Amino acid sequence: MSNKTFEERNLNSYIKYSDVSLEIMNKYKNVLPEYLIKIWETMGFGIYEINYLN
């Protein structure tokens, strides 16, 4: 198993569709895992993990 972070694993392969608005992040911050919100903050909406996470 790789010790790389999600961001490091997907840096060169992910396709960004858009930034995530603060409104959306606030709406889901108590619903989704904090780590997913952090990914949205740093990487935006997109396709990650070679099409595994959209």
pLDDT, tens only, 1-54:
568 888 888 778 888 889 999 999 999 999 999 988 998 998 898 876 665 665
Angle at 38 between CA 34 and CA 39, to 5 degrees: 120
Domain count within the chain: 1
**Which residue type, as a one-letter code, is found at position 49?**
E
43 belongs to a structural domain: yes
pLDDT on residue 53: 60
Which structural domain, as residue segments, surrounds residue 32? 6-47
pLDDT on residue 14: 81
41 belongs to a structural domain: yes
pLDDT on residue 26: 96
32 belongs to a structural domain: yes
3-state secondary structure at position 47: strand
